[in-house]
A and B are shown apart, each in its own frame.
Chain A
Amino acid sequence: MKEYITKTGSGNIAVDDTLLTKGIETTAGSKILSGFVPLFSADAVERAEKAGYTVAGKTNVGEFGLDLVGEFSYYNDGDEILHGAAAELIAKGEIKGALEVDLNGAPRRAAALSGTDFIKPTYGTVSRYGVIPCACSGEQVGAAAADAQETKKLLTAIAGHDGKDGTSLPAESYDYACGKEIAGMKVGVITQLFDTASEETKAVIKNYAEKLKALGIAVEDVSVEEISAAQSAWQILMAAETCNNVSRYDGVKFGYRTPNYKNIDELYIGSRTEGMNLLTKATVLYGSDVLSKGRYFTCYDKALKVRRVVADKFKELFKAYDALLVPACGKTEYKKYDIGKAFETVYEESAYTAVPNLIGIPAMVTGGVQLMADHFGENILFKIAESAEGTDK
C-alpha cells in the first residue's frame, strides 16, 4: 500500500494525487493507475513551483475524487474517523498549503472538518492541464492553506491563462484584492441547506453569522428552491462525464493490468473490474445509462437545462447578496462506512457542494463554513474570510 503522503524531500506544499507531477507516481487514488509516473507536471504545479513553492509530496485522494474526503482510495489507511489527507497535514502544520482538485466537493468537506481553508475558484481561472480528468465541466484545481491569506497567496500563484487548456479563461493573472468595505456587505444563508444540516453544523453556521454581523455585514435567510434540482443535475452530469473519462483505462498503455487474461476482452474487463472500486463502477454505469438512447433527452439534456436555470437563479441572487453562507458538510464528523452505500451517502452530502461545481462559481471553506460568490468573486470571499479570521486572533 502507498504511503499516506509520499515524501519527496523538503517542501512546503502537497499536491493531491489527481494532479500530475513529473517523475512522481500519480494514481488518482485508484489501483487502475498504480505505477503510473507522469512525464510532465500539471500547469498549476509548475506555476506554484515558479512562484517559489516546493512540492513536499502527494496526498491521498478518494478514487478519482468521487467520495466524501478520500475514504475509498485504494491506498486508504482505513481510519475510523474520516479526514482529507491534505487538510489534515495543513491542520497539523506539516505543510503550508496544498493544490487539490475539487470535482464533487471533497476538498471543501475536508477543509471544513479540519478547520482549514480551501478555495475552489471560478471555473476556467486555474488551468486543468495535467488534472486526471473525471467531470471536466465542473472540476477545478483549488488552493488550500491554514488561513485565508495563505490560501489567497497560493491561488494567486496558480491562476491565469494557460494556452494548453481549452477551458482556460483569457486573463493572464488575477488580483484578489478587494476594494469593497466589509461593513455594509450582505450575505444570504440558504435555508434549504441550513435546515437539513446537523445541529452541530447549524451551530457552526450561526456562530459564523454572528461574527459577520459583528463586522457590520447584514446576514439574512434566503430560500433557493432550485437547490435539490441542482444537486440531481450535477450528479447526472458528473456521472456522464466520469463514464467517458475513465473509459480510457484499459490496462494497455499505462497503469494496472490484470494478471489473469487469455485474450484482449479478458484483459480489458479484468483490468477495469479489478482496478476500479464499486463507487467508481456505480458512477460509470449510471453515467452510461443517462447517456443512453431514450434517457439522453429526459435525463442528461434536462440536467444541462437545469444547469442554466440554476446559473440564472444564482446570477440574480448575487445581485442582492455579496456572498452566500452555507455548510460545506451536513455533519461535523464522518465515520467509516460501507462502500456499498457510498453512491447514496456521497450524493446526500453533495447537496452542500454541488452548485459551485455545476455552475462554476467560486466557493471557499473557512472557519468550518462555506461561502459562495458570483463568478470572479474570489476577492469578496477572501475579504470576508480574512476579516472573520481576524476576529479570532
Chain B
Amino acid sequence: MDKTTLDGLLSLNELRLTEEETESVLGAFDFMAGKEKIMDGIDTENVEVMVHVMPMNNVLREDVREQPFTRESLLEGAPEHTEDSWQVPRLVK
C-alpha cells in the first residue's frame, strides 16, 4: 500500500487522516499483507465461495402501504432539519 492509493481510498470513503494516523494505517496494511499470504496455504481450487454460512431468504411483505414512523419522529433525530426535511448545505449554486 502506498500513500497515493491510500489517498484514493480516503477519498472514496469520505475520510481524512493526520500524518501520524496515516503511518499507523499504512502499518496496518503492511501487517495484513503478511497475514493474507497465510491463505495461500489453503487449496481453494474448485471451491465455491461461501457468502452466507446459513441458508438465507429474502424477506418479503405484502404490497400494502404502511407508515411505521411519522415524518416528525424521523426528523427529530437529525442534526439539522426544517419543518419537513433534513437540512444540508446548498448542493447547486
Closest chain B CB from A192 CB (angstroms): 12
Q: Does B4 contact A (CB under 8 A)?
A: no
Nearest B-chain residue to A167, judged by Cβ:
B56
B89 touches A261 (CB 8 A): yes
Tell me which residues from 36 to 55 in chain A have a Cβ below 8 Å from any Cβ of chain B.
36-37, 39-40
Closest chain A CB from B84 CB (angstroms): 14
Q: Determine which of A231, A253, A360 lies in contact with B86 in the assembled complex, contact meaning CB atoms within 8 Å.
A: A253
A164 touches B51 (CB 8 A): no
B50 touches A304 (CB 8 A): yes
B53 touches A289 (CB 8 A): no
B78 touches A289 (CB 8 A): no
A251 touches B79 (CB 8 A): yes
Total contacting residues, chain A, CB less than 8 A: 75
Tell me which residues from 252 to 309 in chain A have a Cβ below 8 Å from any Cβ of chain B.
252-257, 261-265, 267-269, 272-273, 276, 278, 281-282, 284-286, 288-289, 292, 299, 301-309
Stretch of A108-116, A141-149, A197-205, A340-348 contacting B (4+ beta carbons < 8 Å) = A340-348
B15 touches A285 (CB 8 A): yes
Chain B interface secondary structure, helix, strand, loop or mixed?
Answer: loop
Q: Provide the residues of chain A in CB contact with B90, threshold 8 Å.
A: 263
Q: Determine which of A247, A278, A305, A311 lies in contact with B44 in the assembled complex, contact meaning CB atoms within 8 Å.
A: A305
A229 touches B39 (CB 8 A): yes
Q: Provide the residues of chain B in CB contact with A169, threshold 8 Å.
A: 54-55
Q: Does A132 contact B (CB under 8 A)?
A: no
Total contacting residues, chain B, CB less than 8 A: 56
Q: Provide the residues of chain A in CB contact with B54, threshold 8 Å.
A: 122-124, 167, 169, 360, 375
- Determine the distance from Cα of A284 to Cα of B9 in the docked complex, in whole angstroms: 9
Q: Does B64 contact A (CB under 8 A)?
A: no
Binding site for A on B (CB under 8 A): 1, 5-6, 9-10, 12-17, 20-21, 23-25, 27-29, 31-32, 35-36, 38-39, 41-44, 47-59, 68-69, 73-74, 76-80, 86, 88-91
Question: Can you list 26 residue pairs at the A/B interface with Cβ under 8 Å?
Answer: A122-B54, A123-B54, A164-B59, A166-B56, A167-B54, A228-B38, A229-B39, A232-B32, A236-B32, A250-B14, A263-B90, A264-B88, A267-B88, A278-B21, A281-B17, A281-B21, A285-B10, A302-B44, A305-B42, A305-B50, A309-B42, A309-B44, A343-B24, A343-B25, A343-B28, A344-B27
